[in-house]
Amino acid sequence: MMDTLVIRDLKAGIEGKEILRGINLTVKKGEVHAIMGPNGSGKSTLGLVIMGHPSYEVYSGEIVFKGKNLLEMEPNERAKEGLFLAFQHPLEIDGVRFSTLLWQAYNHRFGNGKKPDIIKFRKELKEWLKNLGLPEDMADRYINVGFSGGEKKRAEIVQMALLKPEISILDEIDSGLDIDAVRIVAENVKRIQEETGMGVILITHYQRILNYIVPDHVHVMVNGQIVEEGGPELAEALEKEGYARYGVAEEV
Partner 1 sequence: MAEKKQQEALLDFDYSKYGFRDEDAVYDYISEPGLDEEKVRLISKLKGEPEWMTEIRLKAYKIFLEKHMPTWGVKLDDIDFDKIVYYARPTRKVADSWDEVPEYIRRTYERLGIPEAERKYLGGVEAQYDSEVVYSRMRKELEEKGILFMSMDEALKRYPDLVKKYFGTVVPPSDNKFAALNTAVWSGGTFVYVPKGVKVDIPLQAYFRINLQNLGQFERTLIIAEEDSFVHYIEGCTAPIYDTHTLHAAVVEVIVKKGAHVRYTTIQNWSRNVLNLVTKRAMVEERGFMEWISGELGSGRNMKYPSSILKGRGARTDILSMSFANTGMHHDTGGKVIIMAPDCRATITSKSISKGGGISTYRGLVKVFPQAERARISVSCDALIMDEDSVSNTYPYIEIEADRVNIAHEAKVGKIGEDQVFYLMSRGLTEQEATTLIVMGFIEPLSKELPMEYAIELNRLIELEMEGSVG
Q: Which residues bind partner 1 (CB under 8 A)?
A: 51-55, 74-76, 78-80, 84-85, 87, 90-91, 93-96, 100-102, 104-105, 108-109, 142, 159, 163
Answer whether 28's CB lies under 8 Å from 84's CB.
Answer: no
Burial of 234 (C-beta count, 10 Å sphere; 0-12/13-18/19+)? buried
Of the pair 16, 178, the CB lying nearest partner 1 is at 16
Q: Report the nearest approach of partner 1 to the CB of residue 47 (Å).
A: 10
CA 47 – CA 45 distance, rounded (Å): 5
Answer whether 154's CB lies under 8 Å from 144's CB.
Answer: no
Of the pair 104, 148, the CB lying nearest partner 1 is at 104
Question: Is residue 207 helix, strand or coil?
Answer: coil
CA 212 – CA 196 distance, rounded (Å): 18
Q: Report the nearest approach of partner 1 to the CB of residue 98 (Å).
A: 11
Q: Report the nearest approach of partner 1 to the CB of residue 189 (Å).
A: 17
Q: Report the nearest approach of partner 1 to the CB of residue 14 (Å).
A: 12
Q: Report the nearest approach of partner 1 to the CB of residue 76 (Å).
A: 5
Beta-carbon contacts of 243 under 8 Å, excluding residues fewer than 6 positions away, are: 37, 38, 220, 222, 249, 250, 251, 252
- Nearest-CA neighbor of 103 among 124, 82, 131? 124
Of the pair 203, 234, the CB lying nearest partner 1 is at 203
Of the pair 51, 213, the CB lying nearest partner 1 is at 51
Measured between alpha carbons, how far is residue 167 from residues 16, 40, 77, 170, 246 in Å? 29, 24, 14, 10, 29
Q: Report the nearest approach of partner 1 to the CB of residue 198 (Å).
A: 16
Of the pair 69, 76, the CB lying nearest partner 1 is at 76
Largest CA distance in the chain: 55
Of the pair 16, 54, the CB lying nearest partner 1 is at 54
